[in-house]
Amino acid sequence: TRSSNRSVIRGQWGMKGMGMGLALILGGDGFVPGFLLDRIWHLILPVICLAYGGFAFLAKLTRSSVLENLLSDYARTARAKGVEEHDILWRHVLRNSLLPLITVSATLLPSLLAGSVIVESIFSIDGMGKLAVEAVQTRDRELVLSVTLISGLLTLAGYLLADIGYAIADPRVSYD
């Protein structure tokens, strides 16, 4: 049994060695340990800068929508029937408060591309925002059209996700 365990361990190390060899061959400059973690570490601040404004707006919209729905007729009726406040908040109020959030969040995806121009210039990142600005400055029509196409596709994807979110949040919504 001891020799069979050794052969299994050797087989596992052989597979790991093959994976490392494949990574070295396909990697070009060679395998750099910790590259992914370093990249993630340096992208934390730009991601926070891009997402902070959208999240702040969504939080403000959530608060106002929940406060508005807490005083609505169906919440008062549920309280009068003796439903617990926790159930009223999570089952009734929050589901109806999600609809404006879903509407606004559909436009957040393409707006990240517009906001990335500033963040990319602050953090010296070569990205889509900087590419779009340079394409406009150099009057590269094809590149401007490509960036516009990608922005349009992101808008369509946001609207599609919003429609799916509507169907999940409100069971009365049906698409025929």
Q: What's the pLDDT at 139? A: 93
Give residue 129's identity as a one-letter amino acid code: G
Residue 127 in contact with residue 47, Cβ under 8 Å? no
Distance CA 112, CA 109 (A): 6
Are residues 151 and 94 in contact, defined by beta-carbon separation less than 8 angstroms? no
Average pLDDT over residues 108-126: 82
How many beta carbons lie within 10 A of that of residue 86, not counting itself? 8
Give the pTM.
0.64
- 140 vs 107, residue with greater confidence: 140
